[in-house]
Amino acid sequence: MDFICNFPFFSILLSLFSGTVCSVLSAKAARIVNRVVILAVGLMSAALLFYLLSTGESFIYWMGHFPAPWGNEIRAGVLEAGMALFFCIIMYLSMAGGAHKLPSEVVESKHNLYYILVNLLLSSLLALVYTNDMFTAYVFVEINTISACGLIMIRQVGRTIEAAVRYMIMSLLGSGLLLFGLCIMYDLTGHLLMSNIKESVELIVANGEYQVPLIVSVALMCTGLCIKSALFPFHAWLPDAYGYSTVSSAAILSSLVSKGYIFLLIKIIYRVIGFSVFNSTRMIDVLFVFGLMGMIFGSLSAIKENDIRRMIAFSSVAQIGYIYMGFGMGTQAGMVASIFHILSHAATKSLLFIAAIGLTDVSGGSRKFVDLTGAAYRNKWAGAAFTVGSLSMVGIPLFSGFISKLLFAQAAVQVEGKMLASLIVLGISTVLNAVYFMKTVIRIYTSEPEAPYEGITFRNMRAYAVTLVCFILLNIILGVSSQPVVDMIGQGLAMFA
Amino acid sequence: MYLILLSILFPAAAGLFLLIRGRTPLSGEKGNTDRKTLLALTGCFLVITASLVFASLLTVKEGFTLFFLTKTLPIYFRIDGVGRLFSLLAVIVLPCAGFFSFAYMKHEERESRYYGFYLLVFGVLNGLCFAGNLITFYLFFELLTLSSMPLVLHSGSKEAVMAGLKYLFYSLCGAYAALFGIYFLYQNCDSLTFTADGALRASAITQQGGFLLLTAFVMLLGFGVKAGMFPMHAWLPTAHPVAPAPASAVLSAVIVKAGVLAIIRVLGMFGRDFLRGTWVQSGWIILTLITVFMGSLLAYREPVLKKRLAYSTVSQISYILFGLAVMNETSFTGALFHVLAHGFVKAALFLCAGAIIYKTGKTRVEEMRGIGKEMPLTMWCFTIASLGLIGIPPTGGFVSKWYLALGSLESGLPVFGVLGPVILLLSALLTAGYLLPLTIHGFFPGADYDYGSLQKKEPCKLMTVPIFILTFLSVLIGLFPNLVDGIIVMAAAGR
Amino acid sequence: MGPNLLANYGEAVSAILFCIGFTNLLLQTNLIKKIIGLNIMDSAIYLFLAEKGYIAGRAAPIVADGITSTESYINPIPSGLVLTGIVVSVSVTALMLSLTIRLYTRYHTLDLDEISTQLKREGR
């Protein structure tokens, strides 16, 4: 086994450890540690990705060299490494983009706490991505929840605490269901490692035994993760949580945290239950229907919203609906589309959050649309970035959103029963997206170009502007050369089997 | 191949440059020089772009793939007959209207934004005409909507913004309906590269013929939104009056034609043989005839000049669509001819209207009595262009309507074969009814007209010359149709 | 179903407890009651695991009296899972309680709906 196979373990441990270290550091040092760790983990993931692409097969890493079925395992394939890399990129950019706002949002003495939470979040995300053990996954789901909750409430306003409480409650309901489902699965199969469970599940299905408990377990796990990732009827906590937390938190929460759970669900579908078994349950139809409803109702709520950040948050509900619709199609193509949408949505949504803060900053801190009139003239970088993000969300070619819609549509055309429903809803939801995003874009570009807002030039916003440019580039890269990414996703899914 | 790319990217880059440079001319001495540089720059850009386009029209023969969006979806450019025709229209109308705006936009604010988006539209239009497959076309179609919207809402008033939004949503809805169809085509074709005679797999036609017909209809409706086809025509009369006059000219003469171009492409992809005689054809003919008649009627009743012209566009574009829907050689030729004829005429009319508004501030038709005495040159051009729109020889409109009617009669379609020409004729009468009174009252204001307050208000050369050119062209193609014959034959043959 | 249910009364009880906890966590408006619901829910799951991990007639997996045959001990993993789970649930409960205290000192009520209305009135 090559040395590089240690990297997944290293990256989890590094971020976990650095989180602990941050607690004794000053705010500035903690920030540097945080950045360095994210970069290091990103580099390791990139190296791992190249290694895996060159060897062409995944590997399993025994923690402490205890072999299955006793030991705890880490598994790395192309998809895992790619996700880890992508998460790091988004997290780094989100942190960089929100850094200048942090002093005004969080009390100075709590800054290092903030970085602890971010590091913990990173480690739990990495663990969710890499782990091969169901119970470890559960534990890190809880760690993820706790750190996400911390990220929401570290900005001490009444709203955020309330949002954090609501978020906690929904998350706990979700993880309770997940844990119960997992225990039933353990009960049925006697294993906790994903690969072993899958073998047993195949046996059980082949013998036709324990149908009801199996379905109950699958349903419980799915529902749990759906609640945690804010699928449509369970999204009540989301707008407040994303709308009022700090900028970086909002960007990270919307683009990464819910995606971590979704990625876990993908792993469960492929590595625990088995894709074909999962498709034979009713669960995919349920996911499909709720996905479609989310796409429409999320957008409708966003249209009604009068607050730019809550609007973006509601649009997340719709986008998560897209992802679940892809799951619900029950085909490989649908799954590829969903995974691509995870990437494209993460890149776009964090861009929108970061750009929105630039716009609200130059409008006297107000997030009401009325006050945002002409904001794009006052902060040109943020305006341009918001426009790009909106165009991507609306699905204009050359941006990442178009490709994911294209993939969804291509997947939908291949599924007989669900074709019409998904295409129609896709169309409606795209138009609704266009309604609220283009409305906002026009709003921020109408009015007299007054004198530029004090001090918003490239020089004093260098970090912010560079971040925005990186995000825009990321979006365009995903939109223009999507084929390698799609190929990689396909390869990664093939490794799952 | 670099020429094609340049003719798309150069104006786009130039437009972006102007947008980013973005200094609004200040008042006073400095503002004046600022404005002059801006105009000089824009003028240069327009001329360079036009020459690039001409060069690529003349020299480029081969298509080329720029890159692959996904494995099977290349961004592919090629110049074929139809594309050449539309690009010819664009490359003549856009610089004319552009130079017209130099004078017209003098008192408007944020000129650099206007010219920036104007150049962007130019680039995108070139891309649209040179697109070689459906996905490339769709890309530029969306970009066209986005880049032309700022022209509509340029003035920034609440009305203009609402009109811009309306335009945007109509267009986007249409484009998505069409995209919906593209997905199906993609599934049932070997490639999305344009052809003139059907790209559907034979197996797909036998298996899901009914569904494909529905798809075709949805795509026609979707792209028809841009072309102002009933029932989705309402954005046109809202968007035109609020847009600056040269922008309306471009919108009406060229951008609306993008919808026509799209429909020609879709027709080619499905193949005329596949659609001929189906419910799609009859449904489509009914829609176009309704639009033709209704547009003229509404124009007849409309008191605001620019709105009247907008309704007239609705009606006239559906002449073209009718010609396409009849689906035979003659009517197709007529439709293509009408693309050019209407393009020149309508651009000239809108520029005239712009000149009138600019000089007198009058927007309603009844206020324009005696206008011919004040601005004789402009009104002469207006009159000649009107004749072109009505279809009186020797203008281009006559030739195209002749072919359209002939094609319809030849087609042997039940009912519509005869009903079509009748409605076209009726609508032509209405056209005369809504355009000629302007000329008549303009030149013969009646006995009670106060000649004492008459002033010469002829606009400056920057305004009159473009109007002249466009009017002249509209007559020229009527007098010598064989000038453009070659290109139209090529387009009709799908080469 | 009937005999199965009787034979597996442990699972049945834990499932019922789980439902009780779940509904409490979901529907109670009082935050403390919600937290109690959370604990009931988690305990139900641990009960389930412990019940499943126990095999009648075997001892806890602590080697005593020199008996090394695996047949005489139960599998330690379920018990280990229960312990891990308890740790997680304790930390989550602590976090929830601290949040509750924060809210209470700010709004002087434990009722989540009332807090929401107060927030709306604040207009932020």
- Chain A interface, best mutation among C5, C13, C95, by max A CB count within 10 A: C95
Please report the ipTM that was assigned to this predicted complex.
0.91
Determine the distance in angstroms separating the CA of B63 from the nearest CA of chain A, rounded to an integer: 20
- Give yes or no for a contact between A335 and A266, defined as CB atoms under 8 angstroms apart: yes
- Cβ contacts below 8 Å, chain A against chain C, sum to 86
What percent of chain A clears pLDDT 70, i.e. is strictly above it? 96
For chain B, list the contacting chains (3+ Cβ pairs, <8 Å). Answer: A
Contact between B169 and A403 using a beta-carbon 8 Å cutoff: no
Contact between B176 and A398 using a beta-carbon 8 Å cutoff: no
Contact between A396 and B161 using a beta-carbon 8 Å cutoff: no
- Give yes or no for a contact between A16 and A120, defined as CB atoms under 8 angstroms apart: yes
Per-residue pLDDT averaged across A56-76, rounded?
80
Distance (Å, whole) CA B457 – CA B372: 10
CB B474: neighbour CB atoms within 10 A?
Answer: 28
Distance (Å, whole) CA B341 – CA B483: 13
**Ranges A50-54, A209-213, A391-395, B452-456: which has the least confidence:** B452-456
Q: Does B211 touch chain A (CB under 8 A)?
A: no
Strand partners of residue A59: A76
Instruction: Provide the pLDDT confidence category of residue A177 given band limits of 50, 70 and 90.
Output: very high
- Give yes or no for a contact between B64 and B8, defined as CB atoms under 8 angstroms apart: no
- Chain C interface, best mutation among A140, A165, A306, by max C CB count within 10 A: A165
Q: Does C41 touch chain A (CB under 8 A)?
A: yes
pLDDT at C1: 47
- Chain C interface, best mutation among A143, A157, A179, A306, by max C CB count within 10 A: A179
- Of A385, A391, A394, give the one whose Cα is nearest residue A473: A385
- Of B310, B309, B293, B305, give the one whose Cα is nearest residue B236: B310
pLDDT at C90 over 90: yes
CB A460: neighbour CB atoms within 10 A?
Answer: 11
Per-residue pLDDT averaged across C105-115, rounded?
85
Write down the pTM of the prediction.
0.89
Instruction: Provide the pLDDT confidence category of residue C2 given band limits of 50, 70 and 90.
Output: low
What is the DSSP secondary-structure string of C44-62?
HHHHHHHHHH--TT-B-S-
Interface of chain A toward chain B, CB-CB under 8 angstroms? 391, 394, 396-398, 403, 406-407, 409-410, 412-414, 423, 427, 430-431, 434-435, 438-439, 442, 445-449, 480-483, 486
Instruction: Provide the pLDDT confidence category of residue C32 given band limits of 50, 70 and 90.
Output: very high
Which chain B residues contact residue A414 at CB under 8 A?
Answer: 187
**Among candidates A142, A153, A183 on the partner chain, residue whose Cβ is nearest the Cβ of C99:** A153
pLDDT at B30: 67
* Residue A487: CA count within 13 A, CB half-sphere: 10
- Give yes or no for a contact between A399 and A476, defined as CB atoms under 8 angstroms apart: yes
Per-residue pLDDT averaged across A292-307, rounded?
89
Instruction: Provide the pLDDT confidence category of residue A278 given band limits of 50, 70 and 90.
Output: confident
Per-residue pLDDT averaged across A160-172, rounded?
88
Contacts (Cβ under 8 Å, ≥6 apart) of A73: A60, A61, A62, A63, A131, A132, A133, A193
Determine the distance in angstroms separating the CA of B259 from the nearest CA of chain A, rounded to an integer: 18
Helix (H) or strand (E) holding A185: helix A158-189
Q: Between A135 and B494, name the one with better pLDDT.
A: A135
- Of B407, C85, C1, give the one whose Cα is nearest residue A138: C85
**Ranges A34-43, A374-383, C19-28: which has the least confidence:** A374-383
Determine the distance in angstroms separating the CA of A244 from the nearest CA of chain B, rounded to an integer: 29
**Among candidates C45, C95, C116 on the partner chain, residue whose Cβ is nearest the Cβ of A146:** C95
Determine the distance in angstroms separating the CA of A184 from the nearest CA of chain C, rounded to an integer: 9
**Among candidates C42, C112, C116 on the partner chain, residue whose Cβ is nearest the Cβ of A176:** C42
Contact between A179 and C22 using a beta-carbon 8 Å cutoff: no
Place of tokens 């471009």: B250
Distance from the Cα of residue B488 to its chain's centroid? 17
Amino acid sitting at position A306: N
Which chain B residues contact residue A409 at CB under 8 A?
Answer: 179-180, 183
Q: Between A155 and A86, name the one with better pLDDT.
A: A86
Q: Please name the residue of chain A whose CA is at the shortest distance from the CA of residue C34.
A: A169
pLDDT at C40 over 90: yes
Contacts (Cβ under 8 Å, ≥6 apart) of B246: B97, B98, B100, B101, B104, B105, B350, B351, B354
pLDDT at C19 over 90: yes
* pLDDT by 10-residue block (mean), chain B, 495 residues: 84 85 60 78 86 83 79 83 88 89 78 86 91 88 89 81 86 86 82 79 79 87 87 85 87 89 88 84 89 89 88 90 86 88 90 86 80 83 89 83 87 80 88 87 76 71 86 86 77 67
**Among candidates C26, C31, C78 on the partner chain, residue whose Cβ is nearest the Cβ of A173:** C26
Q: Where are the alpha helices (DSSP H) in B227-278?
A: 235-242, 245-250, 256-270, 272-275
Contact between C95 and A153 using a beta-carbon 8 Å cutoff: no
Strand partners of residue A133: A193
